[in-house]
Amino acid sequence: MVSTKTIHYSKSMLHGELSVPGDKSISHRAVMIGSIAEGTTSIAGFLDGDDCLRTIDIFKRLGVSIERNGTEVTVISPGMRQWQEPSADLYAGNSGTTARLMLGILAGSNIKSVLTGDESLSKRPMDRVTLPLLKMGAEIKGEQESNLLPLSITGKSLTAIDYAMPIASAQVKSAILFAGLNAEGTTSVSEKTVSRDHTERMLEQFGATIGKEDNTVFVKGGSQLHGTTVQVPGDISSAAFFMAATAMIKGSSVTFKGVGLNPTRTGILDILQSMGARVEIKDETKGIGEPSGTVTITYGTLQGMEIKGEVIPRLIDELPIIALLATQASGKTVIKDAGELRVKETDRIEAVTNELIKIGADVQATADGMIIHGPTVLTGGQMASYGDHRIGMMAAIASLVSLQPITIEDPACISISYPQFFEDLEILAVNK
96-107 and 50-61 helices cross at what angle (nearest 10)? 30
Q: How far is residue 264's CA from residue 261's CA, in Å, rounded to a whole number?
A: 8
Q: Which residues contact 327 (CB under 8 A, 6 or more apart)?
A: 356, 361, 362, 363, 372, 374, 375, 376, 378
Q: Residue 274 annotated as binding? A: no
Q: How far is residue 400's CA from residue 404's CA, in Å, rounded to a whole number?
A: 10
Q: Residue 308 annotated as binding? A: no
pLDDT of 143? 85
Q: Residue 344 annotated as binding? A: yes
pLDDT digits (tens, 9 = 90+) for 272-310: 999 999 999 998 887 668 999 999 999 999 999 999 999
Q: Residue 358 annotated as binding? A: no
The model carries a pTM of 0.94
Q: Residue 342 annotated as binding? A: no
Span of 178-187, 277-286, 338-347 with lowest mean pLDDT: 338-347
Residues taking part in catalysis: 317
Q: pLDDT grade, residue 334 (50/70/90)?
A: very high
Q: pLDDT grade, residue 432 (50/70/90)?
A: very low
Q: Residue 29 annotated as binding? A: yes
Q: How far is residue 26's CA from residue 28's CA, in Å, rounded to a whole number?
A: 5
pLDDT of 288? 67
Share of the chain above pLDDT 90, in %: 91
Task: Assign 202 to helix, strand or coil.
Answer: helix
More confident position, 341 or 243: 243
pLDDT of 16? 94
Q: Residue 347 annotated as binding? A: no
Give, in order, the Cα–Cα distances in Å from 19 to each of 22, 236, 371. 9, 10, 32
Q: pLDDT grade, residue 119 (50/70/90)?
A: very high
> If 0-12 CB within 10 Å is exposed, 13-18 middle and 19+ buried, where does residue 408 land?
buried
Task: Cis check for the bond before 150: say yes or no (omega within 30 of 0).
Answer: yes
Q: How far is residue 345's CA from residue 97's CA, in Å, rounded to a whole number?
A: 11
Q: How far is residue 371's CA from residue 348's CA, in Å, rounded to a whole number?
A: 14
Residue whose C-alpha is closest to residue 409's, from 50, 2, 9, 8: 2
Q: Residue 141 annotated as binding? A: no
pLDDT of 36? 98
Q: How far is residue 191's CA from residue 212's CA, in Å, rounded to a whole number?
A: 12
pLDDT of 344? 80
Q: What is the mean pLDDT of the chain?
A: 95
Q: How far is residue 43's CA from residue 74's CA, in Å, rounded to a whole number?
A: 6
| 246 DSSP 8-state letter | H
Q: pLDDT grade, residue 161 (50/70/90)?
A: very high
Please say whether the dihedral angle defined by the alpha carbons of residues 52, 72, 297 and 408, taken in this order, is positive or negative.
positive
Q: Residue 169 annotated as binding? A: yes
pLDDT digits (tens, 9 = 90+) for 353-366: 999 999 999 999 99
Residues written for the chain:
432
Mean pLDDT along residues 128-153: 95
Mean pLDDT along residues 104-122: 96
Walk me through the domains of the chain, giving residue ranges and CATH numbers. 4-22+233-431 (3.65.10.10), 24-231 (3.65.10.10)
Task: Cis check for the bond before 78: say yes or no (omega within 30 of 0).
Answer: no
